[in-house]
């Protein structure tokens, strides 16, 4: 029901949008673009239709950001510290902690 010039913005929950329909609308030009900071499920899976869009569509019509607006100062620094710890573990040939998706 959006105009072809419309841009969908979802900063609430991934479940409130039909991700297959949004992906199709981006592909066929039914909407001009989408700005999304949450997907369903979280953590997202590699078969998510939004993330499986062709590169040219993702680059020109899609902005995806991390859903972290409510993150506290303490949690942000813990995530930052843990990310660097995981990078160090991988560099040392060890398995990182907190693996979300295994390829």
Judge whether 77 counts as a catalytic residue.
no
Q: Pick the catalytic residue from 15, 42, 80, 81.
A: 42
Residues near 62 by beta carbon (within 8 Å), at least 6 away in sequence: 26, 33, 34, 35, 36, 50, 53
**CA atoms 42, 68, 13, 11: torsion sign:** negative
Q: Pick the catalytic residue from 13, 52, 81, 88.
A: 13
Judge whether 42 counts as a catalytic residue.
yes
Q: Pick the catalytic residue from 15, 58, 67, 88.
A: 67
Judge whether 67 counts as a catalytic residue.
yes
The residues that are catalytic are 13, 42, 67
């Amino acid at each position: 029901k959006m105009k072809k010039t419309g841009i969908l913005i979802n900063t609430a929950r991934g479940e409130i949008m039909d991700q297959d329909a949004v992906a199709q609308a981006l592909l066929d030009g039914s909407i001009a673009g989408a700005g999304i900071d949450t997907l369903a499920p979280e953590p997202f899976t590699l078969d998510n239709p939004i993330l499986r869009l062709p590169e040219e569509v993702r680059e020109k019509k899609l902005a995806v950001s991390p859903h972290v607006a409510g993150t506290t100062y303490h949690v942000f620094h813990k995530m930052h510290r843990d990310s660097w710890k995981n990078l160090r573990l991988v560099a040392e040939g060890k398995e990182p902690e907190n693996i979300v998706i295994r390829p």
